[in-house]
Structures are given as structure tokens and as C-alpha cells.
Structure 1
Amino acid sequence: MPDIEIHAQKYFAQCAEDIIVMALLKALAQRDGVDLSRERYLEVGANHPVASSATYLLGLELGMSGVLVEANPALIPELERVRKQDVIINRAILARDADTSELFVSNHSELSSLSRRFVEEWQQGAVGLKEVVVVPASRMNVLLEEFFAERAPLYLSIDVEGLDLDLLKDVDWSRWRPAIVQAEPSEHFIQNNANEISHFMKSKGYVLVAKTEVNQIFMDESIRAHKKVSQISEKDDEESGRNFAALSRVGIVTRTKDRAVLLRRALESVKHQTHENWLLVVVNDGGHAAPVDWLVSEIFQDDPRVRVIHHDASRGMEAASNAGLAVLDAEYAVIHDDDDSWAPEFLASMTATIARQKKTFPSLKGIACRVNTVFEAVIGNEIIIERVEPFKSWHSDNLDEGLLSVQKMLVRNQFPPIAFMFDLAVARELGFFEESLPVLGDWDFHIRFVLKHDVWVLPEYLSFYHHRISSAGALGNTVHAGADRHRLYNQKIRNDLIRHAAGENGENRIAVTIPMEVQELAQNEFNHILWRLWQLEGAINGLRGQRPKWRRELSVWFRRWRNRLLGRTVEG
């Protein structure tokens, strides 16, 4: 007998795989603060509700629930009777398109398979085939889209007797990333299948963490490699903010199309962030795939935090953003376009600041920083920086520290996407970006965001908004190359806002007034323009030598326009 009391651990899976998975999930919950009772699992090949179940213990001990898929219709009533917290689906899951499939039912139900050979050859036919039934069928991604469109299952178990690898290969891993995946190699049926499954899962960013006599258990490498954060001290607010920030995973979406020279800089901007708890999704929106894949491989060298999505044809900027956001599993998200960049401290400063400020303002769901505009030109594969200045320096209303003004955001977009880190769950509630907008989708999203939630302004120049005024085509900026469309959709967004405020039938008749803050903003702009005119006039008058006629005329022209703005008249 042992010197200390040891409790026997109950398990229900074939070789206690459920104990291993439960231990992994408990560790994940303790480290990252995951509420397991709100998470779901997906078990494909459920068979019995209790005996040999991969998920029964998770519901019993952790309060989890999920979706159980079983092809054999004879087993469905018992699953529904016992597993009341779960969704029970009678369906065969295939790696091809089909509405139905033949199921070969074994005399031992747990050995039934979509492969006749698997059933007939089990133990040289000693068990045998009982019957063949036709059952509903679909592919893995259809199943996942149907039940896990908003959030991937935390745990995926596949046990389909000889066809597990086929189903794993059919999953869109850029769209769904379970933390833990379990599969059965069935090596008695397919030799070396365990190695084949291991190599495939490794290629998708998963590492083998456990192997029993019959099953393999894999974990997402980006989750497994996540660094443990030390206990947070209540006494040290600044240190506390840093530690909370380290817990915050940030999802990054980089949308690109045939701009490899710019994409390299964007990818390196992410790679060199001092905050390491991030995920990056590169969305190639209809461009050539080879340069994107090569750059990602060259810069990140199989870093499991990085994924690439290729669109066969361009779906537009906002659709590309949404495709990337949809696959992220993170607390916050940022749109990092392929031509923009960050200071190395961007993520660290943003996550630390919002963690600290949320103690005072729990309503904060986003944070923006100040922006530098970089004017540049691209010649061949060389980017030439021409000048750098604060974003919209010709405006007088720099982003000041504190809560972002909703009124100012309604007047005009206060920052580009590269400067805004937002709560991903809120973005999902808002429906992400409006895909019908060819331009200004970021302004529309920012407006909808700030109308519901507070955003903090960090007055540090941590982001760089790159402009190529003279460039067109793939290397151009929409704000310059598409100026006419910007004017058109600028007015459309304003019209939609007013109509929404008025109601469907205009019943909310409102007096259109200019709020005091907007009046002040307009006055500041007016004064700023006057200041620039005086400054330019002084530069002209300060030139050495006798003033030629054109210089005198230009000076008079400035005075005339300056005084016209002031409501005065001036004689030539």
C-alpha cells in the first residue's frame, strides 16, 4: 500500500485518452483563464454515449458540451437519451462531396466503417459484416461551418475506423484551429499510418503530445509554446499591466495582392514585435500564390503562429479582412495592411495600456495610437522614403490621450486600420467589415464600433501609414489612386448615418445641429489654415534680394485669401 492516499481516476475512453485530454484542457484553463464550461468539443464517430467515448468525461468533470456525430442510425436513440447536453447528429462524414453514403455495420457496432474492407478484414473476418445501410453524409468543413461557424471546437476527436487521415486532410485548418486534436491511426489496417498522420498534423502547426495504444493526441503548437505568465501583483499597477498584456493574444490580418516588395516589410514588422503572443493570418486576395508562400516561409520559417489563406479571385479589401478575422482565436485583432508597418513596441504598448486603463474604464473595447504618415516611392524592388510627418498634420486635432471622441469620428476617420487594436468578440458582434464598400470600409467599421463601445487613445507614434502618391496599379494607395471613389462613398456613409438616425420612415425627425465639439473642431481647422497661410507668406517675404513682380503678386494673393476667410476686404 502507498504511504499517501491515491484516488482511482475514472475514465471512459478506450485507453484513458480522456484523462490525458482533460489534463491538457485543465492546464490550458489555468494558464490562460479559459472557462471550459463555455467551450465545446466535436466527436466524429461517437458510437456509445459512455463506453469508449472520447468526450463523456469532459462533460462530466469540466461541464463542457458539444456535437456528437454518429453514422449508425441504430445508435442515435441511446446517444440522445444519455447525452442531453450535446447535439446529436446522424451523419457519415466524408472527404468528398455526397449527400448520402453506404455504412458497413459490423457485428460489433464500434467497428462499423464507411470502408467495407475494414469491416470484412477485421481479425480475418472473425467479427464480420452485419448489414449495409445508406445514411446522410457531408464533408468535414460543412459540418464545422454548420455548428462551429463562430468559434472552432476546443477539442476535436475523429474515430472513423480507417479513414481518420482522409478527414483530417479535408479540414480547412486556416479556418478552424482546435486546441487539441485526437485521431486513430488503425495501423493494423493501414501500415505506417501513425507517422503519416503525425507528419500531416505537423505541417498544419500541431505537435504530437501523447500516444496511446490506439490513438494519437496533438496540440496546436502556438498554444503549447505560449509562455507562462507569472502571478500578477496587485501592488504594482505598471507591472500588473505588463503581465495582463502578456496574456493578451492579438490576432493580426494582413491582406495582400501582388505587392511582394511591400509585403516583406509588413511581415518583418510583425516578426520583430516585442510582444510575442500573436497570431498572423496573411490573406492573399487573388494575387499570385508563390511569392506570398515564399516570403512567409523565408521570414517566419514554419512559425506555427502564421497562416496563409489564398483566394482564387479577389473578393475585395473588406472581404479579405473578414476572411482573416474569421479564423482567428484571440482577444484582440488588428488589420495590418501589406504596405504599412509598426514600431517594434506597438503590440506591447497597446496591450499594456488597454489592460491598465480597463481597470478605470471597463467599457474599453479598443485602443488607437498616433500615426506617422510615410511618403515613399517604389523603384524596382527598392522603397525610397521621401518624408515622414504626423498623420493629417494639416489638421489641428491630434489624437490626445483619453477616450476617443465619437463626434470627431463621425466628422471624419480619425486613424487608419494600422493604428487600431480592437476586441475581436465585439467585431464579430458587429458583423466585421462591410464587404459591399470598395473603399472606406475601415471608417464605416470604426463608426459602428465607437457608437457602441469606448476606445482609448495612446498618444504615441507607434504606427506608420505609408503613402505612394505617384504610384498606380498594384503599388498604389486607394486613398490616392481611388480618390473619386473615396469622395463618392464618403458621402454614402454620411447619408446612411443620417437616414439610420431618422428611422425607416423618418419618424425620428431631428434638428440637424452642429455639436459644440464639432464647432470647435471646425474653428481649429480654420485657424490652422490661416496660420499656414501666414507662415507661407512670411517665407516668401523673407526671401533675400529685391522682390520680383510675381513674388509681390503672390504675397498679395495670400493676403487677399486670408482676409477673405476672415470676412475682410483688401486693396491690391
Structure 2
Amino acid sequence: MNFIFRKFRNIYKRLENGFQVTVFPEKFSLYPKLQYLHHNLSYSQEGEDMILSRFFENKENGFYVDVGAHHPQRFSNTYLFYMRGWRGINIDAMPGSMESFNKIRVCDINLEFPISDGHQTLTYYEFNEPALNGFCRDISMKRNGSGNYRIISEKKMKTYTLSEILDNYLPNGQNIDFLTIDVEGLDLQVLKSNNWHKYRPHIVLLEDLNRFPISQIHKSDIASFMEKQNYHFYAKSIHTLFFLNKN
């Protein structure tokens, strides 16, 4: 029965892709299979989805939570899995950010909420490069005027905790395979806002802008916090740390 279901699902996805290419050629394209047969297609900024793909290579129909999702495809740690049939929750604070998610990631739960470690009102710094948007004043001031980057607006926003978002939007009985966080300097605060007794993703990956080498990972406040939650350091890209649930 599962084999038949997967077969029909694959047929449906091919028909869906064909329809999109035919009706919206400026937005969608098909890749010749032979030309890209030996390529690994990555959407992440530093290949994080390739590390996750290797870890979850035999898993179907998984579930992710993406905090600081930014864009449905660009720099996305989850889009590759969405294309494979996974589903999840995408969260971003940028006003209007979920419009593109609701068009491209229609099967996901797409939420526009600022996340921090409590209910507070913070200043959101919006850049001409949306990937740099965030609440951390120090980081935003350093980036403002660096190269071509500049702050184009500042907005006051009320923040929510990750645990209350999951309480309200995570489907009943749904386990989280991986949680990915990239919120430009507030990553530790987002971690602290989760209920680690109730919500324990198998893998947690998030940005640490301090860029500690592996030999000094113990100096990372993020690594120390995750160790206390019974997660151990598992892998690393340039900025991203991966933690595996010890349980």
C-alpha cells in the first residue's frame, strides 16, 4: 500500500511540475535528468541541507521547523526537503515575508512572528539585503554601511516565544525531525524560548557568528546551552552548528 501511495505521489508531483512549467515558464523550470544526474542540488547558504540530507537520507515524510526562514528557496535549509515531500513550519519576522512562502510553500505552515526569549518589544532592523534583517542592534550597526549594505527601516515589534508558537501551530502528535534557526544574533534567545521538555527535535542547527573552530567549540554559549539540554555537538559548516539529541 505504501509503495502504491508513493508511486501515485511521484506521478502527481511530476504532473504538478509540468503544469507549473507550462503555465508559469518565467517562474518554473525543469532540469534535464541526464545532465544533472550526478549533481547534488543545494539551496542552503553553506550546504547545510547536504549534511541534513545525508543524515536523513532514508527518511520520508519528515517534519522541520525553520525560524528565520527568510525566503522559501534562497538560503533555505528546508526547501530541498519540501521538494522531497517533507512538510513543516516556516517562521520569519519580516513584514510581508510570508507572501512568497504562501505561493511557493503552499503545503507548509507559514507564520510571520518575531521570536525571542520572552514577550517584549524590540527594534527590527531591515536592510536592503533581507538576509541581514534582525533584532540585534550591535550586529546591525556594524553591518550598516559595510560595503553596499544599509539599514532601510526600523520597526518596533512584539516578540513571542518559540514554545508558544509550537503550542499553537504544531500539528497534534507531530515530532520535529530538525529545527533550524538563523535570526542574525538572537539565536541563543530563540533556543531559550523553546520548551525542551516538550519539543525535542532530532537535530538542531543554528548560526553562531563567533565562528569558533571545532577545537574550541566548548567556548560557544550556544554549544554550552545545548549540552545542558542533552544535545551533543554533531557537525559544523562555516557559521552553522549542528546538534544531535542524545536521547
Q: TM-score, normalised by structure 1?
A: 0.34
Is 1:145 the equivalent of 2:167?
A: yes
Partner Cα separation in structure 2 for residue 214 and residue 65 of structure 1:
25
Contact kept, 8 Å, 1:44 with 1:160, in 2: the verdict is: yes
Contact kept, 8 Å, 1:185 with 1:193, in 2: the verdict is: no
What do the CA deviations read for 1:6-59 (whole angstroms, capped 9, x no partner)?
Answer: 8110000011101111221225x3xxxxxx31x321100011110100100011
| CA shift in 2, pair 1:176/1:220, >3 Å | same
Which residue of the partner structure matches residue 22 of structure 1? 53
Contact kept, 8 Å, 1:43 with 1:67, in 2: the verdict is: yes
Partner Cα separation in structure 1 for residue 151 and residue 218 of structure 2:
24
State how 1:180-329 maps to structure 2 within 5 Å.
Answer: 180-187=203-210, 195-222=220-247
Which residue of the partner structure matches residue 11 of structure 2? none
Is 1:12 the equivalent of 2:12?
A: no
What do the CA deviations read for 1:151-182 (whole angstroms, capped 9, x no partner)?
Answer: 34221001000111121122221111100111
Structure with greater helix share of residues: 1
Contact kept, 8 Å, 1:156 with 1:182, in 2: the verdict is: yes
Partner Cα separation in structure 1 for residue 178 and residue 66 of structure 2:
8
Partner Cα separation in structure 1 for residue 195 and residue 98 of structure 2:
28
Partner Cα separation in structure 2 for residue 17 and residue 164 of structure 1:
16
Contact kept, 8 Å, 1:93 with 1:138, in 2: the verdict is: yes
Specify the code of the residue in structure 2 equivalent to 1:166.
Answer: Q
What do the CA deviations read for 1:464-510 (whole angstroms, capped 9, x no partner)?
Answer: xxxxxxxxxxxxxxxxxxxxxxxxxxxxxxxxxxxxxxxxxxxxxxx
Partner Cα separation in structure 2 for residue 168 and residue 179 of structure 1:
14
Give the secondary-structure state (helix, strand or coil) at the position aligned to 2:152: strand
Give the secondary-structure state (helix, strand or coil) at the position aligned to 1:105: strand
Q: Which structure exhibits the higher relative contact order, with contacts defined as CA atoms closer than 8 Å and separated by 6 or more residues?
A: 2
Of 142, 145, 155, the residue aligned with 1:121 is 142
Contact kept, 8 Å, 2:144 with 2:151, in 1: the verdict is: no
Of 96, 103, 106, the residue aligned with 1:74 is 96
Is 1:84 the equivalent of 2:115?
A: no
Specify the code of the residue in structure 1 equivalent to 2:42.
Answer: Y
| CA shift in 2, pair 1:108/1:213, >3 Å | same
State how 1:358-377 maps to structure 2 within 5 Å.
Answer: none
Contact kept, 8 Å, 1:66 with 1:87, in 2: the verdict is: yes
Is 1:50 the equivalent of 2:55?
A: no
State how 1:381-420 maps to structure 2 within 5 Å.
Answer: none
Contact kept, 8 Å, 2:118 with 2:159, in 1: the verdict is: no
Specify the code of the residue in structure 2 equivalent to 1:178.
Answer: P
Partner Cα separation in structure 1 for residue 241 and residue 161 of structure 2:
22
- Number of matched pairs: 206
Deviation at 1:91, TM superposition (A): 0.8
What do the CA deviations read for 1:92-113 (whole angstroms, capped 9, x no partner)?
Answer: 0011123x54311012100001
Of 114, 118, 143, the residue aligned with 1:96 is 118
Q: Greater CA radius of gyration, 1 or 2?
A: 1
| CA shift in 2, pair 1:80/1:103, >3 Å | same
Deviation at 1:76, TM superposition (A): 2.1
| CA shift in 2, pair 1:26/1:194, >3 Å | farther
What do the CA deviations read for 1:63-100 (whole angstroms, capped 9, x no partner)?
Answer: 111110011113221121111111111110011123x5
Contact kept, 8 Å, 1:187 with 1:193, in 2: the verdict is: no
Please report the RMSD computed on the Cα atoms of aligned residues, expressed in angstroms. Answer: 2.3
| CA shift in 2, pair 1:20/1:50, >3 Å | same
What do the CA deviations read for 1:301-343 (whole angstroms, capped 9, x no partner)?
Answer: xxxxxxxxxxxxxxxxxxxxxxxxxxxxxxxxxxxxxxxxxxx
Q: TM-score, normalised by structure 2?
A: 0.76
Give the secondary-structure state (helix, strand or coil) at the position aligned to 1:85: coil
State how 1:516-555 maps to structure 2 within 5 Å.
Answer: none
Partner Cα separation in structure 2 for residue 168 and residue 115 of structure 1:
15
Structure 1: give runs of 5+ residues left out of the alignment.
Answer: 30-35, 223-572
Specify the code of the residue in structure 2 equivalent to 1:195.
Answer: S
